[in-house]
Amino acid sequence: MRGLKIIAAMALAILLGSSTWTSLEAQEASLSNAPYARLFLPPPAAVSLEQATATHPPPEHTGIGALIYSTGSDFVAFPKRKSTWVILGIGGAAALLVHPWDTEINNELQEANTLKKVLTPGKYLGYGWVQMGAAVGMYTIGRYALEPDEGTHTNKWSHLGFDLLRAQIVTQAFTYGIKVAVQRDRPTGECCAFPSGHASVTFATASVIERHFGYRGSWPMFLIAGYVSASRLTDNRHYLSDVLFGSALGMAAGWTVVGRHGRDTFTMYPAPIKGGVALAGQWSPSWIGPGPKTRH
């Protein structure tokens, strides 16, 4: 029984990052067999796979001034995006669902000594300064050590670092703001548990990488984010509800940053899966369409 609870806890910890979002091909296949999809918002207009995987358009500038201005705009945009409230709504609902079993799950996981040893590195991978340091390193190398791409003022590595930095700033600000406001005690008795900062910052990183490299290139980072999140349970620093909402907050912040390269459309609709129905999401940024768009 204890093993089943551990498996359930691990699965829920990575639910938002590695299982909720499906590829465009999978969504199209699912919709063709979903007559009840009309009960929900219809998906955005179809786009070709080539358009959907087109290169993420670079910003015109990635300097310090642009970083400050863009990050300030991210904070303003965060509550205005529909996707923010959809993702936070899913995360909040998941957190409420598991809340009654938070303590029981943690108590069970404290007895799983082998699992605790396996997950120990997650504690260090998920520190905010580690994720921020990786973003700063990527930005610095791309900005000052590599030549800009032809006809631009930037390159893909400075662009990635630029987005990662913004995502970390926004995510950590909202995470610690909520921690101070909620004041939920950790399983060990000290403040502040809700939401998990390790979960939020790693899922923010995964969300930015997903936009730049597509789901095929980002799934390892989503697995790492799930691994980090699960480590907070075995380390007895967070409850499962803290981790689930932290994951949602990180994704909402990350997709605010990368989604603001153009207006976007976001919708949720049901998709049949073996043995039941899953909720699928489709995000269609305005840069997908005829001809390249490079204006930041």
- Phi, psi (degrees; rounded to nearest 5) at 269: -155, 160
Q: What is the per-residue pLDDT across 160-182, written as a single tens digit (0 to 9) for each? A: 999 999 999 999 999 999 999 99
Whether 276 shows a pLDDT value over 70: the answer reads: no
Q: What is the per-residue pLDDT across 77-86, written as a single tens digit (0 to 9) for each? A: 999 999 999 9
The SS3 of residue 292 is coil
pLDDT band at 296 (very low <50, low <70, confident <90, very high): very low
pLDDT recorded at residue 166: 95
Whether 295 shows a pLDDT value over 80: the answer reads: no
Asked whether the beta carbons of 289 and 51 are under 8 A apart, the reply is yes
Whether 148 shows a pLDDT value over 60: the answer reads: yes
Mean pLDDT of the chain: 77
> Hey, what's the torsion of the CAs at 26, 29, 32, 35, to 10 degrees?
-40
Q: How far is Cα 118 from Cα 111, in angstroms, rounded to an integer? A: 13
Q: How far is Cα 176 from Cα 192, in angstroms, rounded to an integer? A: 9
Whether 266 shows a pLDDT value over 60: the answer reads: no
Alpha-carbon separation of residue 105 from 59, 113, 256 (angstroms): 45, 14, 32
Determine if the pTM surpasses 0.85: no
Q: How many CB atoms lie within 10 A of CB 189?
A: 6
Positive or negative CA dihedral for 231, 207, 215, 265? positive
Q: How far is Cα 156 from Cα 142, in angstroms, rounded to an integer? A: 8
In total, the chain counts a number of residues equal to 296
- Can you name the residues that pair with 283 across neighbouring β-strands? 266
Tokens standing for 285? 């940024």
**Mean pLDDT lowest among 49-58, 100-109, 253-262:** 49-58
